[in-house]
């Protein structure tokens, strides 16, 4: 079997090498990606960028080599009626019919030389008469505003006349349709009219998009200041939790994913709320996207807004605890003023317990952990009461909300419950909780682990792996779940199944064998789990392929939600999940107390070194480095330039660090 796997991976690597060149390339400075447009190019893409009061989905590209851009602006704090999950004010602007900049009385060419994305979207137009034009787009980090900045430079040896078109658009919504009454959406230009540019001279102007309640005065915005603030967010995010490996594409996707994970946070009436985005999901939280996927990652990055949004989300979920153990809603919506539970219990309490314990351990703050402890214990007790006669956790469905069958008890929910029990036992020890309670958690974890094997362990389509639910007879993507929580009993066959033609596609895992649907979340869990199992040789070709496709392919530069549903929206929690592929999978970092963690680095074959700099973990700022030493590895951990660990270990070793 091992030989078969070896040749399978060699075949896959050959296929990847034979693929056409990527549309995009990493820029020489390593801070962006760029697409050099050819004259015959026709291609459109979309990317989401967000700030505390706005999210922008920019559809951009070229049609027959000419610039195309359409902007969908979402204002999460400007609520429409009815004030439900999707009640953000949304307005779309198509620039196709807007007046065009003129050079010496003639319209500037709209032929695009290149697109660049760094967190700011830029288009360089083909120069005309020695005049170059660059257009940049970005959202405000803190206000309900979006900007297009146009920079015109005269590179010729003669003066040129530049005519900036006037632009003043205004739309007022119906008062009955807005929670705050009528809203005003405006677009204006900072300059208009004719300007003469001498040789070498440069001109910059901007288009400003804003929205506000009609009863509020218009806000004056400075595009230069707002661009600086956006760049500072990009730089700050790149500065912390820095991955450095021989695979530049994995490094860069990690850097971009950090940005998408933390930019999608909204300053709502209910406090900071991390939202998935995608044109639909804002000013609200979900038990899966926030509690399970994103929140356990935020402490590692050390982003203040990310950490606060995580704590705030758990506070909102805790509001719905009750003495009768009715389920906490799947989603708290409309800035925290309402909830959604339309799919019933999706295993949400297991999601919340898993995420809250993982977050508390990684954050390492005792007072925060004490605040979260009642929510954790309530969710664990809820799950205990839902354990069925087979010993696994029952639920109405799973996070896919009946898009695919999940039976009355599914594998993923029980795996989350298992991990939450282990984490709670560790966390409770540092919070001086009753030993009997913590012992009951440890015993329950052992019981649920055995039940997972007894009830879900099965031969499915010839693989000795897991069935997703009792009646399941075809392979499902979520068979990867046990690997992510340290259950490796069926690891080899499960990995065979995950990477088999039955499940693996060009875009990662199919949700179900034989179906075209894919959701990146399952692929990202799988990659994390396979790495955690120590199978780097098997994981890395697939991880590299995924990174290349998402970073430099036809839809860039982030992980996506799903296809065909949602047209591969750039939902932000999926970016957090990619980051966890690295922190928990490749590096094997597992918090085991408020001031203790283990590290099991998985240095891939062919790599001589890897490092993870400025890791925020349990109130410390750490640098981790691994170097290959023959058949062993050297692990170095430093804090404030002081060496905590400098050990030569067998590959695959686990090292535990306590404060």
C-beta separation of 465 from 505 below 8 A: no
Residues of the chain with CATH 2.70.98: 25-228
Q: How far apart are CA 266 and CA 79, in angstroms?
A: 13
Residues of the chain with pLDDT under 50: 1-11, 13-18
C-beta separation of 320 from 329 below 8 A: yes
First to last CA, the chain: 44
The pLDDT value recorded for residue 130 is 93
pLDDT tens, residue by residue, 328-359: 999 999 999 999 999 999 999 999 999 999 99
Reference 275, options 514, 77, 135; nearest CA is: 77
C-beta separation of 195 from 228 below 8 A: no
Rounded to 10 degrees, what is the CA torsion of 533, 535, 540, 542?
Answer: -80
C-beta separation of 59 from 46 below 8 A: yes
Reference 623, options 243, 285, 369; nearest CA is: 243
Cis status, amide bond into 564, omega within 30 of 0: yes
CATH number of 240-598: 1.50.10.10
What value, to the nearest 5°, has the Cα angle with vertex 304 and ends 300 and 306?
A: 65
| Cα–Cα separations (whole angstroms), residue 527 to 47, 160, 182, 412, 541 | 24, 55, 47, 16, 11
- How many beta carbons lie within 10 A of that of residue 563, not counting itself? 18
Reference 148, options 127, 132, 163, 133; nearest CA is: 133
C-beta separation of 286 from 256 below 8 A: no
Q: How far apart are CA 205 and CA 194, in angstroms?
A: 12
The pLDDT value recorded for residue 97 is 84
pLDDT tens, residue by residue, 405-435: 999 999 999 999 999 999 999 999 999 999 9
Cis status, amide bond into 494, omega within 30 of 0: no
The pLDDT value recorded for residue 64 is 77
The pLDDT value recorded for residue 19 is 54
Q: How far apart are CA 32 and CA 44, in angstroms?
A: 19
Residues of the chain with CATH 1.50.10.10: 240-598
DSSP lists the bridge partners of residue 519 as: 562
The pLDDT value recorded for residue 1 is 41
> Would you tell me the crossing angle of helices 520-532 and 491-498 to the nearest 10 degrees?
140
The pLDDT value recorded for residue 151 is 98
Parallel, antiparallel or unpaired: strands 202-213 and 145-154: antiparallel
Reference 162, options 202, 122, 124; nearest CA is: 202
Q: Considering Cα of 115, then 120, then 125, then 129, what sign does the dihedral take?
A: negative
Give every CB contact of residue 25 below 8 A, 6+ residues apart in sequence.
Answer: 33, 34, 35, 36, 552
Reference 452, options 407, 387, 401, 396; nearest CA is: 387
Cα atoms found within 13 Å of the Cα of residue 193, Cβ hemisphere only: 4
Topology of domain 25-228, per CATH? Beta-galactosidase; Chain A, domain 5 (2.70.98)
| Cα–Cα separations (whole angstroms), residue 637 to 238, 365, 611, 644 | 20, 21, 10, 5
Give every CB contact of residue 434 below 8 A, 6+ residues apart in sequence.
Answer: none
- For residue 190, the 8-state DSSP code is S
């Amino acid at each position: 079997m091992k030989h078969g796997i070896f040749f399978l991976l060699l075949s896959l690597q050959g296929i990847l090498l034979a693929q056409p060149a990527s549309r995009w390339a990493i820029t020489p400075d390593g801070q962006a990606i760029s697409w050099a447009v050819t004259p015959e190019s026709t291609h459109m893409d979309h990317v989401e960028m967000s700030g505390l009061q706005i999210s922008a989905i920019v559809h951009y590209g070229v049609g027959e080599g000419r610039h195309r851009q359409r902007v969908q602006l979402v204002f999460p704090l400007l609520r429409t009626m009815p004030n439900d999950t999707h009640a953000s004010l949304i307005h779309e602007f198509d620039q196709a019919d807007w007046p065009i900049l003129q050079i010496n009385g003639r319209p500037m060419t709209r032929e695009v030389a290149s697109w660049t994305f760094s967190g700011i979207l830029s288009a360089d137009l083909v120069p005309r008469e020695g005049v170059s034009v660059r257009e940049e787009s970005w959202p405000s980090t803190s206000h309900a505003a979006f900007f297009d900045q146009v920079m015109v430079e005269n590179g010729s040896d003669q003066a040129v006349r530049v005519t900036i078109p006037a632009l003043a658009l205004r739309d007022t919504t119906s008062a009955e349709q807005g929670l705050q009454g009528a809203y005003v959406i405006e677009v204006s230009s900072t300059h208009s009219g004719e300007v003469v540019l001498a040789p070498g001279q440069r001109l910059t102007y901007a288009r400003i998009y804003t929205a506000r309640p009609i009863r509020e005065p218009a806000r004056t915005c400075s595009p230069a200041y707002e661009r600086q603030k956006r760049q500072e967010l990009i730089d700050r995010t790149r500065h912390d939790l820095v991955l450095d490996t021989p695979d530049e594409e994995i490094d860069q996707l990690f850097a971009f994913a950090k940005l998408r994970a933390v930019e999608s946070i909204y300053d709502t009436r209910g406090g900071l709320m991390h939202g998935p985005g995608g044109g639909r999901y804002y000013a609200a939280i979900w038990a899966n996207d926030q509690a399970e996927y994103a929140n356990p990652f935020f402490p590692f990055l050390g982003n203040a807004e990310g950490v606060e949004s995580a704590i705030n989300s758990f506070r909102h979920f805790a509001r719905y605890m009750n003495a009768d153990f009715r389920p906490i809603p799947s989603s708290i919506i409309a800035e925290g003023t309402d909830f959604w539970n339309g799919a019933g219990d999706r295993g949400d309490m297991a999601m919340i317990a898993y995420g809250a314990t993982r977050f508390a351990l990684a954050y390492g703050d005792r007072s925060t952990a004490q605040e979260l402890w009642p929510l954790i214990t309530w969710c664990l007790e809820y799950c205990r009461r839902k354990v069925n006669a087979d010993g696994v956790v029952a639920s109405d469905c799973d996070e896919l909300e009946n898009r695919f069958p999940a039976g009355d008890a599914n594998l993923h929910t029980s795996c989350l419950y298992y991990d939450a029990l282990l984490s709670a036992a560790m966390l409770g020890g540092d919070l001086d909780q009753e030993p009997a309670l913590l012992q009951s958690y440890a015993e329950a974890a052992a019981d649920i682990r055995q039940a997972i094997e007894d009830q879900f362990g099965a031969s499915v389509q010839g693989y000795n792996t897991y069935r997703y639910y009792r009646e399941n007879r075809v392979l499902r993507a979520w068979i990867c779940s046990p690997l992510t929580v340290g259950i490796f009993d069926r690891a080899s066959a499960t990995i065979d199944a995950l990477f088999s033609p039955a499940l693996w596609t060009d875009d990662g895992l199919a949700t179900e064998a034989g179906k075209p649907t894919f959701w990146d979340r399952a692929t990202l869990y799988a990659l994390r789990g396979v790495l955690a199992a120590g199978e780097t040789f098997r994981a890395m070709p697939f991880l590299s392929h995924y990174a290349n496709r998402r970073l430099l392919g036809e839809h860039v530069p982030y992980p996506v939600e799903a296809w065909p549903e949602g047209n591969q929206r750039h939902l932000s929690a999926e970016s957090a999940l990619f980051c966890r592929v690295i922190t928990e999978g490749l590096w094997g970092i597992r918090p085991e107390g408020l001031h203790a963690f283990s590290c099991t680095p998985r240095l891939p074959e062919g790599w001589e070194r890897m490092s993870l700099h400025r890791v925020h973990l349990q109130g410390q700022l750490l640098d981790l480095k691994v170097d290959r030493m023959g058949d062993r590895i050297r692990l170095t951990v430093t804090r404030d330039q002081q060496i905590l660990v400098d050990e030569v270990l067998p590959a695959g070793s686990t090292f535990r660090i306590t404060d």
